[in-house]
Structure 1
Amino acid sequence: MNIWKAYNTFNSSNGTDLTIGFTSSTVAVFLFGTNFVPVKKFDTGDGMFFQWIICASIWIVSLVINLIQNCPQFWPLAMVGGFAWATGNVTVVPIVKTIGLALGLLIWASFNLLTGWASSRFGWFGIDPEEVSRPILNYIGAGLSLLRGCSLAVVAGILYGSSFVPVLYIKDHGRRNGTIYTGASQFDLDYVFAHFSGIFLTSTIYFLIYCAVRKNKPDVYPQAILPGFVSGVLWAIANCCWFMANHYLSAVVSFPIITTGPGLVAAVWGVLVFKEIKELFSSELPLRTDTPASDFPNGNMGVRRQ
């Protein structure tokens, strides 16, 4: 009877963890794909001021989370993950200007997925490798996720994918005796404040360097402040959900889901709400299909307007 009760308790607990984990992943995917919607119609210039506003609002959210968690121990190493993310975020501006957002997003999202998944699966950077019950399916899932999905973009993806490594390192070594992290919390949300503090500190340093390079004449866009703040709040909530997903599902499962899903959500916003993809031809004008092939370059057949 006791064994049966323990078995049922285990299954119930495991089912609850999976529910929380996949719910957190779903919320993260939706918010990551939505967080730039508030700033869609506002000019953000070269992006440096805008990213600093976002990071400031991210830090404020982490302060609230820290108070809710009763101010858990602050581990400075977790700030390194914030530094990695903020550094990757700064590279977005030159990436978009040189190779475009679509190609840049494809490359950095792919390397984000690979770095985050592989570091957890194989135990890179000193963290414990995570075992999965069906490794072949896990590899196939990661590979398929990559197929949905240049050098700066590669760097950005690696930095994004490495941002959780310090937290995972602290947690892994917190389960061992004789390390400075022995006894460290195993609940990922307890590291949000340190992680986000690293983001805000790094972003502030980069913004001050930018101001110095511009001789104290940075491009500031006041109309982007409030939308940027809202965007940062959405991102921060999404990332907190990612922390939750890492805890309840493990990073090796959450990374392929959360790094690929937001692109689909953003595409839905772009197509259905912002009408970014328009019809090639207006329905107001009739089409002629009797155009000779010689009227088109290289003899290609097509349609033309009257």
Structure 2
Amino acid sequence: MHIFDDEILGNITTIIHNSTTSLPPDVPAPHSIGYIAVLISVVFFGSNFVPAAKYPIGDGLSFQFFLCCGIWITGVVINLIVGSPPFFPLVMIGGVLWTTGNVLSVYVIQINGLGMSMLLWCTSNLFMGWASGHFGWFGLIPEKVENPLFNYIGVAIAVLSGIIFLFIRTGNSPETTAEHQPILQSNDTSIINTLKDDPLELNSSPSSSSSSSTPSRRMRIIGYILAIISGIIFGLVFTPSTYIQDHRKYKYPTASKNGLHYIFSMYTGILLSSFFYYSVYIVCKRNRPLICIESILPAFISGIMWGIAEAGFIVANSILSQAISYPIISIGPATLAVLWSILYFKDIVGLRNYLIFIAGTVIRLVATGFIILSKPISS
């Protein structure tokens, strides 16, 4: 009997040891699931501002805070669905980076306008996200593809395609374009025009002349630099979660390869950092924040949609690698956002705009084809 008890105790000890020191079992997901995640991400990123497009958002800071609340609620639901996996504080840094870049982008738009700002930060975002994964920057394991040349060609074409969309002109403003990626940049110019008329703008007096409201050359250069910095920050959002997945064996034995297991940690970082920036904003406004009541619910809905899109993004990164998913998801939503403006909002009209859209879309489809043909190598 004593021997039997010792055997049971030994088995229990072995089970406990294995559960705390060995990696959780991972079943490799097929690449088709990764491409489905890419599609979900593109659709929701390209459409998440549609519910809020026709409502004023003031200076954007209040809108962003309520949007981040919607993001966090989405993270809570996803976390419950996947069984409340371990919380990794390191991943919160990705959320903080995203919020920082997003708040920064509001002021970049006011200096440079939406078109040039989007071109700069989308390009730097795409390159940083792709390169950090492909070359293994910041301690990541380099992600290989079967045909590196196709991958390089696809990324290069994707970067250049943004220049074509820069020439699209809307009916409301010659300076705006429907490019879309970060959270406060919409496919509808009504939101952007509201940003431009905000009291926080550099020259906000409605009676000021066009020459006085035009940023100086020095301010534009500063705006260009800030736009590039914003894009770099966006490109590093997934670095903490990817780092954990790459170092599970020795540093993070309880981590998994399932990208959804890191969503709640990231979205918590987004909420906390957004709350911090919003608190600073309220203090600067002397407890008189600019809140557009009618935009609160649309902001919350947009946050939910963005949260779903980001979840698809991180799943695609886990299955396909950033070398494949990042370029596609960086260019896809902008094309869909322009389509919303043409077919639904009707603020992009004219044969010239349609031809530019068709040409830009064809080039981006070619870029996507090269990236897909480069084929990810399963880890």
Q: Which runs of 5+ in 1 are unaligned?
A: 1-12, 281-306
Amino acid at match of 1:211: I
1:228 is matched with: 299
Is the Cα contact below 8 Å between 1:17 and 1:249 reproduced in 2? no
Distance 2:265 2:348 in 1: 41
Distance 1:108 1:45 in 2: 23
Q: Which one has more relative contact order, counting CA pairs under 8 Å at least 6 apart?
A: 2
Is the Cα contact below 8 Å between 1:120 and 1:130 reproduced in 2? yes
Match of 1:204 among 275, 289, 309: 275
2:85 is matched with: 72
Distance 2:92 2:237 in 1: 9
Q: For the aligned residues, what is the CA RMSD?
A: 1.4
Partner deviation per Cα, 1:100-148 (whole Å, 9 max, x = no partner) = 1121111111111000000000111111111111111111111111112
Distance 1:246 1:134 in 2: 18
Is the Cα contact below 8 Å between 2:124 and 2:231 reproduced in 1? yes
SS at match of 2:89: coil
1:48 is matched with: 61
2:338 is matched with: 267
Distance 2:160 2:253 in 1: 39
Structure 1 residue 39 displacement after superposition: 1.1
Distance 1:30 1:102 in 2: 21
Distance 1:108 1:279 in 2: 27
| Number of corresponding residues | 264
Matches within 5 A, 1:112-123: 112-123=125-136
1:190 is matched with: 261
Matches within 5 A, 1:1-306: 17-149=30-162, 150-175=224-249, 177=250, 179=251, 181-279=252-350
Structure 1 residue 279 displacement after superposition: 4.3
Q: TM-score by structure 2 length?
A: 0.68
Distance 1:103 1:69 in 2: 40
Distance 1:148 1:213 in 2: 40
Partner deviation per Cα, 1:21-62 (whole Å, 9 max, x = no partner) = 111101111110111111111110110000001101000000
Q: TM-score by structure 1 length?
A: 0.84
Distance 2:38 2:103 in 1: 25
Structure 1 residue 80 displacement after superposition: 0.3
Partner deviation per Cα, 1:148-204 (whole Å, 9 max, x = no partner) = 2201111111111100000001111113x3x3x234212111000000100111000
Is the Cα contact below 8 Å between 2:121 and 2:231 reproduced in 1? yes
Distance 2:143 2:348 in 1: 41
Amino acid at match of 1:49: S
Q: Which runs of 5+ in 2 are unaligned?
A: 1-26, 163-223, 352-379
Is the Cα contact below 8 Å between 2:86 and 2:254 reproduced in 1? no
Structure 1 residue 17 displacement after superposition: 1.4
Amino acid at match of 1:68: I
Distance 1:79 1:131 in 2: 27
